[in-house]
Amino acid sequence: MFTDWLRRTFAGVIRAGARLFGRMGLSPNMLTVLGCLLQLCAGVLVALGHLALGGVVLAVTSVFDAFDGALAREQGGATRFGAFLDSSLDRFAEAGVLLGLAWYWMQLPGALEEMLIYVALVGSLMVSYTRARAEGLGVQCKDGLFTRVERTLVTVVGLITGWVGVLAWILAIGTVATAIYRMIAVYRSLGKEPLV
C-alpha cells in the first residue's frame, strides 16, 4: 500500500528527524501529543478560512506521525501505551481538521458540503474503528484504500488547491466505502467462527 511505500522511501529521513527530536529531550509520547496539537492548529486555520495555509500545516505536521514510532524504536522499542496513544490522538487530530472544515462551511450558505464533511468524519473514524475492533477479535484488518495516509493526502491536496467540494465528496464516499469493505473482509476471514 501507499503507506508502506512512503515509510520505506523516507525511512532514512524519518530516522534522522526522530534522532534529532530525541536529542532535544523529547520522548516518543511527547512527539505524539505535539503532533496532535499541531494538527489541531491546522484545523483552526481551516476553520478561520485559511484553507491553503491549513493544508500546508497539515502536510508538514503529518510527518510527526512517523517520527514518534521511529524515535520509540531508536530508544529501545515502542510501548503498548504508546501505540494506543498514537492511534487515539490520530483520531482526535483527524476529527479536529474535519471539524475545522465543517466550521468553515457552517458560515457559508448550503448544507450539502457540510453534511458530506460529517459523513467523511464518521467514515474516517469507522475505517479506524473496524480495524481496531477486528484486531480486538484477533483478525488483521488493514485493507482498503482510504487509510490515514491516503485520507491526509486527499485532504492536503483539496485544501491547498481550494477544491474543497471535490475533497468532501471523495472523502465521504471513499471513507464509508473503505469501512464497508473492511466489514466484508472481516466477514470473509471470520465466517461463523465462535466467539470465545
Listed ranges 1-9, 73-81, 145-153, 167-175: which one lies at the site for a second copy (CB under 8 A): 73-81
Q: Return phi, psi of residue 136, to 5°.
A: -65, -30
Distance CA 6, CA 160 (A): 21
Q: Which are the catalytic amino acids?
A: 90
* Least separation in angstroms between CB 111 and a second copy: 5
* Least separation in angstroms between CB 117 and a second copy: 9
Cβ atoms within 10 Å, residue 3: 13
Distance CA 48, CA 56 (A): 15
Q: Which is nearer to a second copy, 129 or 169 (CB)?
A: 129
CA 78 to chain centre: 19
Q: Which is nearer to a second copy, 7 or 91 (CB)?
A: 91
C-alpha cell at 127: 475505517
Distance CA 178, CA 145 (A): 6
Write the single-letter amino acid at 115: M
Distance CA 170, CA 91 (A): 19
* Least separation in angstroms between CB 189 and a second copy: 9
Q: How many chain residues are in contact with a second copy, going by CB under 8 A? A: 50
Q: Is 184 in the site for a second copy (CB under 8 A)?
A: no
State which of residues 32, 61, 130, 175 lies at the interface with a second copy (CB under 8 A): 130
State which of residues 36, 99, 168, 171 lies at the interface with a second copy (CB under 8 A): 99
State which of residues 20, 48, 106, 108 lies at the interface with a second copy (CB under 8 A): 106
Q: Is 153 in the site for a second copy (CB under 8 A)?
A: no
Q: Is 77 in the site for a second copy (CB under 8 A)?
A: yes
* Least separation in angstroms between CB 190 and a second copy: 4
Residue 38 CA: distances (Å) to CA of 70, 79, 131: 19, 23, 25
Q: Which is nearer to a second copy, 25 or 138 (CB)?
A: 138
Cβ–Cβ under 8 Å, residues 72 and 30? no
Q: Is 25 in the site for a second copy (CB under 8 A)?
A: no
